[in-house]
Every structure is written in structure tokens, then in C-alpha cells.
Chain A
Amino acid sequence: MLELKGVTKRFGGVQAVNGLDISVAENEIFGLIGPNGSGKSTTVNLICGIYPVTAGEIVFNGKNLAGLPPHKRLRAGIARTFQNIRLFPNLTVWQNLLVARNSMEDVHSQSFLARWLGETRHTRGEIESILEFSDLADKADDLASNLAFGEQRRLELARAAAAKPRLLLLDEPAAGMNREEVQDLIHRVRGLRDSGITILLVEHVMQLVMNVTDRICVINFGQKIAQGTPDEIQNHSAVQEAYFGTTAGDPD
């Protein structure tokens, strides 16, 4: 459903992503890993439209995304979370979810009056179920900035889910989490996939990557160096060298 064909991104003289080919299948959990600075986050930013590609194309559901601004990519079905948490700090948990939910197509087809007045009973029901799924039901009226770190991470994921995406980009969702929190995250990511969402996971934390992904692509210096199942990747020599050899001790 998502295809990157020869995607290249240059920032001035720096080649962040170089001729990257990736193909993510419907309802797959696809891992994208690589050392720091290998171009993972840039790839996510290219897919969700924060930067334009220098060369190559990104095709989503048979549609070339070139020139489509980020807010339209969300409406096309691509949502994401951020490595460094980017919640709306002075909105409540509920409002954070409502902002994302308000972007949905069905909202845009509502009458002017209904849109002006905001949330409908249907929307409320959906947000309540997302809060339930994210274990944030009792925090609905708290400001996002007052949440604990783990709760903020869950809200990031919940907000992305609230937009009911077909493709969810997770940019290092386990960063800074302890083992139990990662275990909890594994269940949530699987739950999202079971609800029909395709997931592209960019991650350093091997506990998460090796446990949830169907396939993994390893990149270094913006280029693909290996691709395969988690088992294949763990035993791949080029990966050992480029990735585990250099950053095995780095918990990030």
C-alpha cells in the first residue's frame, strides 16, 4: 500500500536519504531501523510531507503523494507520532484527540452548522473508545502538559489513532521507555494492527522491533543495506557490522 521508489533527499550537500526503495504491504508491521543519522526520521518526514523529496516518488494506495501538503496526507490516511513528543500542551487530553478526529473526511462532509458546533455524539463515542484503549479515560480533562512521560507517549499514539489512519508512522515510540512500558507498547501496536492499520515502525529499541514487525528494512547512510524477517535481520552480517556492532550498547 506504501511504496518508496528511489526516494532521495538532500539537505544542501548532505545526502540524508539516497535512492531508497521500500514496499509496505497492507496490514503489515514494517520496521525501519538503522544507526543514528542513517536517514530513518527523514524518511518518515518525507512520507508525511514535512519535506518534499529531492528525487524519486512516494506512492500511497496507488496515488503519487508528490506536492500533497501534510494536512492532506493525513486526510488521505497517513498519520504519525513524533520521536520528541509533540502534543498540544495547553489542550486537554480530550481536545488533543478531538483535533485529530476533526480532520476526518466525514467531519468535512458535515453541514456548516454541525462543523461549527464541533463534536457530535458519534465523535464523542469514538474518542471515548480511544481513551479506553489507551488507558487515558481518567485523564480526559487533564492538560497534556500535566501528564507523566508514559502517558504523554500513549496520548501521542492515541492522537494518531484518532485520525483513523490506514497507515501509521511510528517514529521511535519506545524512546525513553523501560522494559514494562515497551511490553505494554508491543500490545498496543499489535492491537492497532489488528484493527486494520498498516504500521511503519522506525525504532532503535530491539525489544520492540524484533517482537512486533513482520519485515524489517535496515538502512545506513540513507541506503538500504538489508531487508527481511526479524530472524533474518538478526543474523545478517552487514547489519551486524553497520548496526549492532556500532550501537549495540546504546539503549536509544
Chain B
Amino acid sequence: MDNNMKKRWISLYVENQVGVLSKISGLFSGKSYNLDSLTVGTTEDPTVSRMTIATVSDDETFEQIKKQLNRMVEVIKVIDFTDIFVRMKEILYVKVFKCTPADKVEVFQIAETFKAKVIDYGRDSVLVEFVQTATKNDAVVKLMKEEFKTIEVVRGGSVGIESISMMER
């Protein structure tokens, strides 16, 4: 059943109630589905929350995940982001420690290349903020790990919304 194992995204409208996050994450752990990232926040309607879920799964498991989510009473709507145009970004903070002057120059160059912002700066450390797709953030994390000895990474998880025009991610 290893066919087409890949990362996929789902967007969920759920009731903004106590326990709903636990129920959704419990489904993933209880049924051994991979949960790569999950973000949640309220929407324009305070009774509704919206989640963006990333999961690594094969075709069959992904179908099951969608069905299992759909049958939950607290889930209002499931949107599969696989085949639709969406805007999707993740925030990533990378703090680089023990920077030499040369390191700092490199951090700035990386930030410029990736259109990231250096948002804080100390004697021997730099904090960079990336807002881009999770895949690009993966690449950044890999690169920064290779380039610098000590880094600290915090990722926000993807948030996504359907495009208005036919935009790529």
C-alpha cells in the first residue's frame, strides 16, 4: 500500500469548541495516520475555527483520513488542497548563534536570497523570519544546518486559503 506516498494538505472548518483539536489530533494518533503539521485559528465567524493539516500519506490512507474527518460531528467541512489553487505559507524563525563576522554576512545573503527578514540582531547572533511555503522552509532549514554550527528553529506549520485567481502556492 506504499503507492504515492507524499505530503498532502487539507483545510478544515470545525466548531470552535473545547476538545475539537484534541479529537482531530486523537484521530491521527489513534489510527496511526501521519500528522506533519496542524495549525488552527478562529475565522471571521467566532464559532468556527479553521485548520490547515499537512500529512504524509498514500492515496488510500489519505482518502480514509478525509472520510474519517468528514464523519466527525464537529467537522463542518473538509477541503482537499491537492488539486486546487491555494495560497499557502508557513512562518519560520531561525536564530543563528556564535556567528563570526563572516557568518553574519552569509546570514544576510541567505535572507536576501529567500526574501526573508532579519528581524533581530545581537553581538554574535541573528534572528531571521521566513514566510514562504513549507517546502522552501525545509530547504532553508537544511541549508542553515549545513552552514552554521548552532541554530534554533521554530516553525509555525502551514496555513492555507483557496486562491482567488489561479495562483500557484
A and B: interacting chains: no
